[in-house]
């Protein structure tokens, strides 16, 4: 099957001027995303995980030219989206939609729910009549679990979970092929998170959507994803099918993240040993040489300081010079 989107060597950098620099001084570059590559097929979900600041959201924005990026984003095996001008990119905007982290902040408080959900139709299907737009909005509201009678209400009259359903309806109203979910449940209660995730899975099954699902919570990612990609300082540490990655993680960073996932059994949770990471993530302005994770890795060796590991392997790719199962010495 031809991949819906193939990403090759995606890079996102931001120029950062230092205090006191003269106008002619070249700014330093912050590498937010560094050489990310993956394929995503129709109807599949790629989960993207990592600590705050690892480049997850920036990667998603780079894919669709919300921030400048280099590399290749091949759409349906034919078009490199990063090579398109804003005018050339516009027809593809309807095919790629986003759901954002803060459900209320992503909605215009001065617009009714009906106006918010209909906005993409006015942009991408300007010839559609007002009557047809209203009918499509009512149908989509019902599809995401909202009463059509709420069409004239404003965002502040809804709960957080309902606001996220509004955001999902707005994204799906134009029938996209790819839905990018940027931490869509992190601001919601646990019970509401489960409802939203179940809704996304149902919509994917019915509509054949491909999804990129960005999250901190590895238990949520496990529930919705087919493949999982782990990022650290803008680089891919590990990428594998969901079952394989959770059952047999090979990168020490992935192992540390998984060891921190709570177990819903107090006896098991108290007896569980975890992998503690020393310190904070280094600044992307001055990343470590060689393997960017080496400064926090218990199995770092001298070669980790000089060699930049690349994700290698087939379906299970690991960017580590010394991969393998968890070692007893790493547990605390």
Tell whether 58 is covered by a domain.
Answer: yes
pLDDT at position 36 is 96
From CA 141, how far away is CA 100, in angstroms rounded?
A: 18
- Examine residue 284 and state whether it is found in any structural domain, yes or no: yes
Q: Does a structural domain hold residue 101? A: no
* Res 325: pLDDT: 87
Res 132: pLDDT = 95
Q: Which residues contact 223 (CB under 8 A, 6 or more apart)?
A: 197
Q: What is the 3-state secondary structure (H, E, C) of 262-320?
A: CCCCHHHHHHCCCCCCCCCCCCCCCCCCCCCCHHHCCCCCHHHHCCCCCCECCCCEECC
Distances (CA, A) of 137 to 96, 114, 149: 19, 6, 11
Per-residue pLDDT of the chain (332 residues; tens, 9 = 90+): 689 999 999 999 998 877 766 677 777 889 999 999 999 999 999 999 999 889 999 999 999 999 999 999 999 999 999 999 999 998 899 999 999 988 888 899 999 999 999 999 999 999 999 999 999 999 999 999 999 999 999 999 999 999 999 999 999 999 999 999 999 988 788 888 999 999 999 999 999 999 999 998 888 899 999 999 999 999 999 999 999 999 999 999 999 999 888 877 788 778 777 888 888 889 888 899 999 999 999 899 999 999 999 998 889 999 999 998 887 666 76
pTM: 0.93
Residue-level pLDDT at 25? 75
Predicted local confidence at residue 70, as pLDDT:
95
Residue 52 is assigned to a structural domain of this protein:
yes
- Residue 191, pLDDT score: 85
Is 90 inside any structural domain? yes
* Overall size of the chain counted in residues: 332
The whole-angstrom separation of Cα 62 and Cα 180 is 12
Residue 150 lies in a domain: no
Domain of 38 in residue numbering reads as 5-95+176-330
Asked whether residue 303 is domain-assigned, the answer is: yes
In the numeric block, which tokens belong to residue 74? 């091949």
Residue 22 lies in a domain: yes
5 contacts: CB under 8 Å, gap ≥ 6: 39, 40, 63, 73, 74, 75, 76, 178, 210
pLDDT of residue 1: 67
272's tokens: 């569980």
Q: What is the CATH number of the domain that holds 193?
A: 3.40.50.300
Say what the pLDDT of residue 216 is.
86
Domain count within the chain: 1
Q: What is the DSSP letter of 49?
A: E
Q: How far apart are the C-alpha atoms of 324 and 332, rounded to whole Å?
A: 18
């Amino acid at each position: 099957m031809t991949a819906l989107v193939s990403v090759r060597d995606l890079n996102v950098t931001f120029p950062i001027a230092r205090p006191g620099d003269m106008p002619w001084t070249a700014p330093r570059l912050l590498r937010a995303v560094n050489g990310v590559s993956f394929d995503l097929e129709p109807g599949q979900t790629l989960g993207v995980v990592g600590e705050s600041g690892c480049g997850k959201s920036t990667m998603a924005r780079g894919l669709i030219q919300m921030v400048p990026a280099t590399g290749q984003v091949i759409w349906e095996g034919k078009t490199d989206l990063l090579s398109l001008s804003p005018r050339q990119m516009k027809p593809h905007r309807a095919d790629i939609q986003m759901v954002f982290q803060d459900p209320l902040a992503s909605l215009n408080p001065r617009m009714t729910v009906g106006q918010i959900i209909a906005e993409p139709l006015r942009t991408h299907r300007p010839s559609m009549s007002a009557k047809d737009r209203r009918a499509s909005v009512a149908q989509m509201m019902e599809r995401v679990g909202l009463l059509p009678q709420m069409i004239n209400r404003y965002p502040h009259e809804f709960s957080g979970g309902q606001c996220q359903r509004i955001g999902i309806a707005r994204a799906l109203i134009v029938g996209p092929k790819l839905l990018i979910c940027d931490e869509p449940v992190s601001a919601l209660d646990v019970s509401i998170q489960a409802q939203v995730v179940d809704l996304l899975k149902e919509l994917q099954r019915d509509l054949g959507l491909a999804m990129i699902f960005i999250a901190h919570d590895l238990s949520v990612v496990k529930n919705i994803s087919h493949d999982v990609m782990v990022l650290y300082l803008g680089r891919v540490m590990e990428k594998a099918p969901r079952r394989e990655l959770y059952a047999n993680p090979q990168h020490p960073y992935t192992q540390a993240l998984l060891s921190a996932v709570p177990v819903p059994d107090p006896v098991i949770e108290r007896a569980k040993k975890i992998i503690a990471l020393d310190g904070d993530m280094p600044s992307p302005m001055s990343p470590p040489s060689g393997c960017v994770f080496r400064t926090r890795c218990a199995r770092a060796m001298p070669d980790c300081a000089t060699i930049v590991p690349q994700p290698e392997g087939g379906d299970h790719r690991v960017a580590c010079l010394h991969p393998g199962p968890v070692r007893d010495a790493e547990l605390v």
